Structure 1
Amino acid sequence: MRVSTIASTLALAASGVQAQYYANQSAPFYLVLSSQNETLNGTTLSSYHEGAAIESFGLGGPLSTASVEYTFNYSIQSWQDPPPTGVNLTGLLTWELRGGNFNLSSPMQLSYTPSSNVAVPLLEPSDDGTLVAFDDENKLTILSYQDDTKPLPNYAVTPTYNWYVCTTYVGYLYQTLAWVVGNAEPQNPTCQKVDVLRIFK
């Protein structure tokens, strides 16, 4: 009996912590690519169907009123340590899946394959997701908390910007946003370096 009570308490605590990221929501915004590749530069990201209630970030063309909107769900209590310079809050990058009689919050979650260093960000209905942040220039970042490139890993909170556009296959073959794990070059030869900018409506 005591074990189940403890388990229930932990589950409630975990759900409460996660729910904090949904306590505050930014105004809607667009995600626009910045790249040295003129074909990609200025392109908006759009939600591409990959499977049942699963979307990736595909290329949506120039910024317009028809561009796909996203939000940033966060909590003012989301920091456990002092934030790095230029980054204010961590939270969940979210898209709303709309159906005939439902609206479902779909936060971004990186999807990894053990044989590749290229992860694909996916949007799926969930209470969980990959924590991201926006810096002072409105660039999308994922924070690194440990530098393991040295014999003794150092704890340091550092914004990282490992965004690329690559040809990926999750449910369909698309050109999508991708994240390269670590500090190596992407092993997928189609990948091209980009930054992802938040532009409010």
Structure 2
Amino acid sequence: MKFSTTTTLLGAALAGSASAQNYTQSAPFTLRVVSSDPASNITDSYLYACHAGAAIEGLCVGSNSTTPTVSNTYYFNTTTCDGCTPTNLGSLVWNLPVQLPDADHYSEALSISLDNLGSNVHFPLFEGGYGSTQLGFTDDKKLFASVYGDDSKNVPGERPESVTEELQNWYVCWGTVGGYYYQALAWVTAGEPHNPTCEKVEVVRDDI
């Protein structure tokens, strides 16, 4: 059966990743979008994990119901190790329900990849066994991505200073998320979105 095959693959990935990572998982929370347009019909809507492929999920816009469910509950993983410098960065994860002998879920980390080279709009995905994008939360619980440097200030022959920035280039757009067409959370790499359906938002963590 397809589900059994997927579960077997996830079990193998889980076994391989568990020995390589030492992380602390936060208490559960939901993610709410706040539009830059107060009259928007998506402001205060909650994001839910929507099917985008085999054990792959995007972050789609759902209702404004505050009720936590399996699909709209997330966690924040921070890694720990001897000698590491403490950081406020980590992985945003969603727990995919699975049927394994020793587990009932598998934590999938969110990653932002260049899924469409013809656009500056990219849809984050939860995937098992892949590297995650380093994210964090501001003091007022807004989700950001950590980047190093601003190449818009580069000059010929001069190596730029490495400066860490906390960007919140989040939008809600209609687009292809994995193999499906959804209204979902997207990341715009720079400038105005190439996709005309995009609406600027902030992503806010609401603790449960």
TM range, smaller chain:
0.7 to 0.9
Aligned-partner SS, 1:99: strand
**Partner residue, 2:151:** 148
**Partner residue, 1:175:** 183
1:9-32 per-residue CA deviation (whole Å, 9 max, x = no partner) reads xxxxxx799614xx2111000000
1:21-76 per-residue CA deviation (whole Å, 9 max, x = no partner) reads xx211100000001133311100000111111111000111132244100000035
After the TM superposition, which residues 1-201 of structure 1 pair with which residues of structure 2 at under 5 Å, given as runs? 19-20=21-22, 23-37=23-37, 38-67=40-69, 68-75=72-79, 89-101=88-100, 102-112=104-114, 113-126=116-129, 128-150=131-153, 151=155, 152=158, 153-169=160-176, 170-182=178-190, 184-201=191-208
One-letter code aligned to 1:24: T
Instruction: Identify, as 1 or 2, the structure richer in strand.
Output: 1
Query: Tell me, which stretches of 5 or more residues in structure 2 are unaligned?
Result: 1-16
One-letter code aligned to 2:31: L
TM-score where L is the length of structure 1: 0.81
Shift of 1:146: 1.1
Q: Distance in 1 between matches of 2:19 and 2:171?
A: 31
One-letter code aligned to 1:63: S
Cα distance change of structure 1 residues 18 and 191 upon mapping to structure 2, 3 Å threshold: farther
One-letter code aligned to 1:180: V
One-letter code aligned to 1:70: Y
TM-score where L is the length of structure 2: 0.78
Cα distance change of structure 1 residues 100 and 92 upon mapping to structure 2, 3 Å threshold: same
Query: Tell me, which stretches of 5 or more residues in structure 1 are unaligned?
Result: 1-14, 83-87
Aligned-partner SS, 2:152: coil
**Partner residue, 2:4:** none
Aligned-partner SS, 2:21: helix
Aligned-partner SS, 1:149: helix
Aligned-partner SS, 1:188: coil
Q: Distance in 1 between matches of 2:82 and 2:202?
A: 24
Shift of 1:168: 1.1
**Which structure 1 residue ranges, 4+ long, deviate > 3 Å from structure 2?**
15-18, 76-82
1:129-170 per-residue CA deviation (whole Å, 9 max, x = no partner) reads 111011111100001211211214331111101000001113
Q: Distance in 2 between matches of 1:143 and 1:115?
A: 24
**Partner residue, 1:12:** none
One-letter code aligned to 1:31: L
Aligned-partner SS, 1:128: coil
Q: Distance in 1 between matches of 2:111 and 2:174?
A: 18
